[in-house]
Structure 1
Amino acid sequence: MEFTSLAQTAGTTLVALMATDAWERTREGITQLWRRIQPHRAEAVAAELEISREDIVAARTTDDQETLSELSSQWQGRFRRLLVARPEAAEELHRLLDELGPPATAAGPAITQQGTASGQARIYQAGRDQHITER
């Protein structure tokens, strides 16, 4: 079973939420997930969450995108290894990500857009402000 996509989403979402007001809720949710799925690793994961948060806050202060990307990749790997070892964790991780929701102030690739048009229909999509003038 392929867990790469879910792990990527989880890692990216976690790193984005670490520097927001949702951090406490995020930390608790991730720690509880590990306590249920791999209890012997939960305390180590909780400690890594704290260390990663400190690194992320520092990286955001200096706009260090390389460190942010690196941390996201590290957490993606942790999630992927968890899912490979315990495939039943996928459903619980999906639920947790749904509860945490998209990061409100996250910088990075947190937006996904898709559009389908037929005939002479038009689709206008933007990740931010959009002004359209048609004549």
Structure 2
Amino acid sequence: MDSELTSLAQSAGTTLVTLMATDVWQRTRQGITHLWQRLHPERAELVAAQLDASREEVLAALATDDRESLDEVRAQWQGQLRRLLIAEPVAVEELRKLLDELAPASGGVAAPPVTQRATASGQARVYQAGRDQHITER
């Protein structure tokens, strides 16, 4: 069970840090804060403040492309979530439910599939990509 909790905490920490720089940050923050409010109400305010501070770190790290700082914030939240899950096994299902709700925003498997179709004729060219694409024509 410990490896399952570690895996869940890693996934949750990664998702949390990813969503810190997105439009769904407030919903994510509310979900994590609510988790602590329900299980450890005396720590909920502190966790909310830590989330806000971490978000500022993430935004600064993204602005300077500081991968090391992003990794540190991610590891911090993975550890904190893992400790919560070990101390409060009832949090496992609630955290999974929150991750499932946030999956589309975090690029998780719940995102709708993308279908691309193109038709070219004559001298036309078609370029399609599921992610970044760089074209240099000479």
The TM-score range, normalised by the shorter chain, is: 0.7 to 0.9
CA RMSD in angstroms comes to: 2.1
Asked whether the equivalents of residues 13 and 102 of structure 1 are also in contact (C-alpha less than 8 Å), the reply is no
**In the aligned structure 2, how far is the partner of 1:21 from the partner of 1:81?**
28
1:64 correspondence with 2:54 = no
Per the normalisation by structure 1, the TM-score is 0.76
In 2, Cα distance between equivalents of 1:17 and 1:103: 7
Quote the Cα distance in structure 2 between the aligned partners of 1:85 and 1:98. Answer: 22
Count of aligned pairs between the two proteins:
112
Larger RCO (CA under 8 A, 6+ residues apart): 1
Cα distance between partner residues in 1 of 2:61 and 2:86: 30
Query: Which of residues 63, 73, 97 is equivalent to 1:95?
Result: 97
Aligned in 2, Cα 1:64/1:102: closer, same or farther, shift over 3 Å? Answer: farther
Identity %: 63
**Cα distance between partner residues in 2 of 1:81 and 1:34:** 12
Q: Which has the larger radius of gyration?
A: 2
Structure 1: how far apart are the matches of 2:132 and 2:56? 32
Report what 1:78 is aligned to.
Answer: 80
Q: Give 1 or 2: higher helix fraction.
A: 2
The normalised TM-score by structure 2 is: 0.75
Superposed, which structure 2 residues align to 1:3-82 within 5 Å? 3-82=5-84
Cα distance per residue 1:82-128 (max 9 Å; x no partner): 00100110000000111111445x7xxx78xxxxxxxxxxxxxxx74
Cα pair 1:59 1:65 within 8 Å, conserved: yes
- Distance in structure 2 (CA, Å) of the matches to 1:101 and 1:42: 24
